[in-house]
Amino acid sequence: MEQKKLAQILAKDVMKTGVITVPSNTNVLDLIKLFQTQLISGAPVVDPGGKIVGVVSATDIIRSNMLKKEEEESVSPYFKIEDIEDNNTSFKAVEASQFKNAETQTVEEIMTPWTLSVNENTPVIQVAQMMVKHRVHRVLVVGAKEQVLGIITAMDMTELVAKTGN
């Protein structure tokens, strides 16, 4: 990307493409395995037509109260709701067997049924403001038919500021 002032940079300049999406009927065990193998902590949830219906994250897995009570004490202290976002190392270390109902519960049951999204021509300053206002770690970049074109994460924004220096 050519050197631009931060105010001139658009979502399409920063977004990552090739976003891993998750069908809403995926079971949570498969979701956990996907997060572990792809080293991600969240993904857009799509219907059979590819339209975004929500977003699911490692936090959603924890919040779904699926950890077996007797094993909660053995989970790494770094595997806590407030710290789980984008902390792939800790999430990867937790075994899927520590979760109850992971084979029968679906992503649709635990996902956040809304997402923050922007179009590719949205200024990144506006994207950053949305992330702060709504306290989220990722914003989806969508096309006219609400299909995923890309994603912008908090880390992408941090890298952008570090690179532009303005």
What is the predicted pLDDT for the residue at 68?
47
> What are the pLDDT digits (tens) for 31-80?
988 998 998 888 999 988 888 999 998 888 887 765 544 445 544 433 33
Q: Where are the domains of the chain?
A: 6-164
Range of 15-19, 49-53, 101-105, 158-162 with top mean pLDDT: 15-19
Among 64, 44, 40, smallest CA distance to 55 is for 44
What is the predicted pLDDT for the residue at 97?
60
What is the predicted pLDDT for the residue at 98?
63
What is the predicted pLDDT for the residue at 123?
96
Query: Residue 87 pLDDT more than 70?
Result: no
Secondary structure element (H or E) that encloses residue 54, with its range: strand 52-57
At the fourth CATH level, the homologous superfamily of domain 6-164 is CBS-domain (3.10.580.10)
What is the predicted pLDDT for the residue at 85?
45
What is the predicted pLDDT for the residue at 132?
95
Overall average pLDDT of the 134-144 stretch: 90
Overall average pLDDT of the 135-150 stretch: 89
135: left (phi over 0), alpha (psi -120 to 50) or beta: left
Confidence of residue 118 (pLDDT cuts 50, 70, 90): very high
Overall average pLDDT of the 80-89 stretch: 42
**What percent of the chain is predicted at pLDDT more than 70?**
75
Task: Name the residue with higher pLDDT: 144 or 132.
Answer: 132
Q: Are 152 and 139 in contact (CB under 8 A)?
A: yes
Secondary structure element (H or E) that encloses residue 44, with its range: strand 42-46
pTM: 0.71
Instruction: Please state, rounded to an integer, the average pLDDT across all residues of the chain.
Output: 80
